[in-house]
Copies of this chain bind each other. A is one copy, B any other.
Amino acid sequence: MSDAIEWVAVDWGTSNLRAWGMSVAGAPISSATSDKGMGKLERGQYPQALQDVVRELGVEDGRHLDVLVCGMAGARQGWIEAPYLEAPTDLRGLAQSSVRPDVPGSTLSVSILPGVCQKRGGENVMRGEETQLLGLASTQQGYEGLVCMPGTHSKWAYLRDTHIGQFSTAMTGEVFEVLRTHSVLRHSLTGENDGAARDAGFGTGASDGLARPQDLLGQLFRVRAASLLSGRDSSWCAGYLSGLLIGTEVAAHLDDIGEAAVPLIGSTSLCALYATVLSMAGKDGRPVDATSVAIAGLSAARQQLA
């Protein structure tokens, strides 16, 4: 079975790393996950972390195999820096800008794809998402429009087939997390989890965010005031905060969304929330499986390398 593995695809993020043993036809045969993300590794620890996860895929030590990596392993503070391509650019150029770390004593031949940066029209960076966008372009050929990638740092990118144009990063997930954990709002957010109250709070928050995105700093305090004055419980307040932030984020992009459904690349639960908010704003969102497009992007880049 492992003989059928022709090459190894790796998405190496900040928190963890995921690897797939790929068939000659470009399909994943086996997969493995490790918690050895970029954030936890010194430079010298990458070869062993990779060797361990490749062994888990069912590959015996000593086999000569190509490994193609996207994500934070290519950051300056990662394994070896893969300098950014600058947007606007054709993502089919990712492969030829990949860098090859030295792996002494190993039979693995590793290439790391670059991220994409933007210098004009708002400085910005991405690492990992560009490979998912290439994967989306290869599975949905001819798409033109905004793509939304919800997460800790949501990316919004303009895609025309394999070309990436303007893109931006919304710190929505991280702002939610630091406010929930460290701000005065935490007093209103701790308690039982009641799904119905949370949904109701989410709807009210999303509606407020869509209506007055310019007043996020003011509307945030409603989380606290609603629990003090109206007896809203922690589930409602947590839903309100989540809805307010996502509503505010989506509102900033509405003018650039056309008729076509916006591809949403991220976790299933988060994409469902974004689809709800887009629909409240009269737009369509279409959840896309994040793992599938990551694999498709690595496969497309591999074809460029060949």
Indicate whether A288 reaches chain B with its CB closer than 8 angstroms: no
Indicate whether A299 reaches chain B with its CB closer than 8 angstroms: no
* Complex-state Cα separation, A2 to B89, whole angstroms: 77
What chain B residues lie within 8 Å of A222 (beta carbons)? 122-124
Indicate whether A169 reaches chain B with its CB closer than 8 angstroms: yes
Contact A183 B172 (CB under 8 A): no
Q: Give the interface size class of chain A.
A: 35 or more
* Complex-state Cα separation, A282 to B255, whole angstroms: 27
Q: Which of A46-54, A56-64, A208-216 lines the interface with chain B?
A: A208-216
Interface string of A98-129 (1 = CB under 8 A from B): 00000000000000000001110011110000
How far does the Cβ of A178 sit from chain B's closest Cβ, in whole Å?
Answer: 5
Top 5 A-B pairs, shortest CB-CB distance: A123-B225, A213-B214, A169-B221, A170-B217, A215-B252
Interface string of A169-208 (1 = CB under 8 A from B): 1111011001101111000000000000000000000000
- The number of times this chain is found in the oligomer is 2
Contact A248 B170 (CB under 8 A): no
What chain B residues lie within 8 Å of A4 (beta carbons)? none
What chain B residues lie within 8 Å of A226 (beta carbons)? 123
Indicate whether A269 reaches chain B with its CB closer than 8 angstroms: no
Residue of B nearest to A227 (CB): B123
Interchain Cβ contacts under 8 Å between A and B, 16 examples? A76-B228, A123-B222, A123-B229, A124-B221, A156-B218, A169-B218, A174-B184, A175-B175, A175-B179, A175-B183, A175-B220, A178-B179, A213-B215, A214-B214, A217-B245, A218-B249
